[in-house]
Amino acid sequence: MRIGTILLYGLAALLAAPLAAAAPRTLRVDYHHVGGLGRELFALDRVVVEPLEWPGHPGRVLDDTNLGKYLVEVWDRETNRLLYSRGFASIYGEWETTPEAAQSHRVFHESVRFPAPEGPVRLALKKRDRNNDFVEIWSVAIDPADPFVDRSMPPSPGPLIALERHGAPVDKVDFLILGDGYTAAERGKFERDARRLIDILFAHEPFKSRRSDFNVWGLCPESAESGISRPSTGIHRRNPAGSTYDAFGSERYVLTFENRAFRDLAAFAPYEFVEILTNTRTYGGGGIFGLYGTVAADSVWSPYVFVHEFGHHFAGLADEYYTSEVAYEPAADRLEPWEPNVTALLDPSKLKWRDLVAPETPLPTPWPKEAFEAHAAEIRAERLRIRSENRPEEEMDALFRRQQAFESELLASAEHSGEVGAFEGAMYEARGYYRPRADCVMFTRDEVPFCAVCQRAISRVIDLYAGVAGP
């Protein structure tokens, strides 16, 4: 039986499944990612053996999706054989595109996880260069037998909740919902919030059709106070996962910069993907590919934010909107993005989703761009006024509903509405980047599905974890 250390925590009934051989433990490498002013450095922090076995399938250890700004590779030092790889993105990778990175240095704590090897390995980090090719930027030798590998047990965050289980972790996409800002008395609320949002996610294709390919787990560590930090309004909390609004100065952007705490909590669940559910009402969320997504559970917009941000986290989907204020500087070069749902359209004949475009659809594809942008400017001005006057959240919600109604009608009535093409305006820029469809979950708050391009990208990631295993 595939029990291992899980039996020690009373999880055997949930996680045990027959396997030919015992699964390896999960090894985690924590490191510091330092940079700014044009420099980027790495420093090893610690190597950790997590409490649970590796949840992934041994036949799906190599990543062929070509997603992510970074790539981790684990090489056997004796045979020089590639044992494991995964593309990912990071908070540092976002921060380096902000104005602050050109003026100062910062350090971010990060982690990579992989099945514990039998002997010494070389861990290599690669980053995309100016041609979007992966180039090695750091490596470190890891010996799992080193006496300084940390095998200690972190404090338990509480019981693991099987929110939805369709099989053994080794055969499924394991998705963890992690609560933050919930007191002990609010754990019941966390479970209700989690189940509500899970049902919303699985109402969207391709998640709907492939629901049985997922396990969904829940953890809700106890917070001393309800809610999370919102520094712009003077609210500060010391929560277990460290979630906060105002990341990079963007009032609706929710992240945690407490990576060590986040990883020690999540280690008590089998997971490949994580959504941090914050016990808050103010509109907010975030999503970083391969790291985590976040959503304010009680916002009236949580259904949209949860699905949208999970698209970032799960499949590396880019933001297709471009009229909202963001913290990032525009790209200096117009390279073809690695994200699967946006393009620089450098050569329409080589459009990466060309097979989904009907022969009669023009490239670029016309849409009512001027009317959309004029209305968005009005909404943005009103939004800034509401925030500057610290108006009630209901006023912001009402503003967003007016915006949603206008955009839904405008985009649905467009000549090429519903078609796959190349619609200018994406990745926070009005010119030079294009999205696959006039409207999508990744573009507006309208009640629309993922477009065909986004659905294909999501399906490919599901296949990496729960598809037919390789040889």
pLDDT band with cut points at 50, 70 and 90 for residue 18: very low
**Mean pLDDT (the chain, rounded):** 93
| Structure confidence at residue 1 (pLDDT) | 30
Kindly state the percentage of the chain with pLDDT values over 70. Answer: 93
249: left (phi over 0), alpha (psi -120 to 50) or beta: left
E strand or H helix that includes residue 40: strand 39-53
Average pLDDT estimate for 41-64 = 97
| Structure confidence at residue 17 (pLDDT) | 42
| CATH numbers and ranges of domains, the chain | 24-153 (2.60.40.3250), 161-315 (3.40.390.10), 348-446 (no CATH)
pLDDT band with cut points at 50, 70 and 90 for residue 387: confident
| Structure confidence at residue 330 (pLDDT) | 65
pLDDT band with cut points at 50, 70 and 90 for residue 311: very high
| Structure confidence at residue 13 (pLDDT) | 40
Q: What is the pLDDT of residues 215-268, one digit of tens each?
A: 999 999 999 999 999 999 999 999 999 999 999 999 999 999 999 999 999 999
| Structure confidence at residue 22 (pLDDT) | 79
- Is residue 138 over pLDDT 70? yes
**H-only helix segments in 268-362:** 302-315
pLDDT band with cut points at 50, 70 and 90 for residue 328: low
Angle value at C-alpha 22, between 54 and 174, nearest 5 degrees? 30
Give the largest CA-CA distance in the chain: 66
Average pLDDT estimate for 107-134 = 97
Contact 17, 170 (CB under 8 A): yes
Contact 357, 363 (CB under 8 A): yes
Q: What is the pLDDT of residues 421-432, one digit of tens each?
A: 999 999 999 999
Average pLDDT estimate for 442-453 = 96
pLDDT band with cut points at 50, 70 and 90 for residue 334: confident
Kindly state the percentage of the chain with pLDDT values over 90. Answer: 90
For residues 446-468, b (16+ Cβ closer than 10 Å) or e, as one string? bebbbbbbbbbbbbbbbbbbbbe
| Structure confidence at residue 414 (pLDDT) | 92
Average pLDDT estimate for 329-355 = 90
| Structure confidence at residue 292 (pLDDT) | 98
| Structure confidence at residue 150 (pLDDT) | 98
